[in-house]
Amino acid sequence: MIIGVDTRIPTKNRTGIGYVLSGIIPLLIETDRNNKYKLLGSSLGINSTIVKFFSLPKIIQRAFNFMWKYVYFPPVNIIMGNIDVFFFTNFLFFLS
């Protein structure tokens, strides 16, 4: 299975979801031998062969945030390729 995770969170001044992501996701990836992961945003300091990272320039990220919030476009699979499950960490959701 390919699992996508929205890791577009502040890495310096973390709050709730930032702590959850930086604590749980690296441990999950370290122990999981059956799945592959695609992270959209921060790499969370992960260095693994089962993880692909997708980072967007700030201006494009802002444009996508606006489109995802109001137009529900583009589908996340256009940016990251095929994903079976996507873990959303924001109030915005992406179509797959």
In a domain, 28, yes or no: yes
How far apart are the two ends of the chain, measured CA to CA in Å? 15
In a domain, 93, yes or no: no
In a domain, 96, yes or no: no
In a domain, 92, yes or no: no
Closest C-alpha to 51, from 76, 32, 79: 32
In a domain, 95, yes or no: no
Instruction: Quote the pLDDT of residue 11.
Output: 61
In a domain, 43, yes or no: yes
Q: What are phi and psi of 32, to 5 degrees?
A: -85, 120
Instruction: Quote the pLDDT of residue 93.
Output: 56
Q: How confident is the model at residue 9 (pLDDT cuts 50, 70, 90)?
A: confident
13-66 pLDDT, tens digit each? 777 888 888 888 899 999 998 999 999 888 888 888 889 988 888 888 888 878
Q: Specify whether the CB–CB gap between 4 and 80 falls below 8 A.
A: yes
In a domain, 94, yes or no: no
Domains identified in the chain, total number:
1
60-90 pLDDT, tens digit each? 888 887 887 788 788 888 888 899 988 887 6
Q: Specify whether the CB–CB gap between 17 and 92 falls below 8 A.
A: no
In a domain, 63, yes or no: yes
Domain carrying residue 18:
2-87
* Residues 23, 63: Cα–Cα separation, whole Å: 29
Instruction: Quote the pLDDT of residue 95.
Output: 55
pTM: 0.79
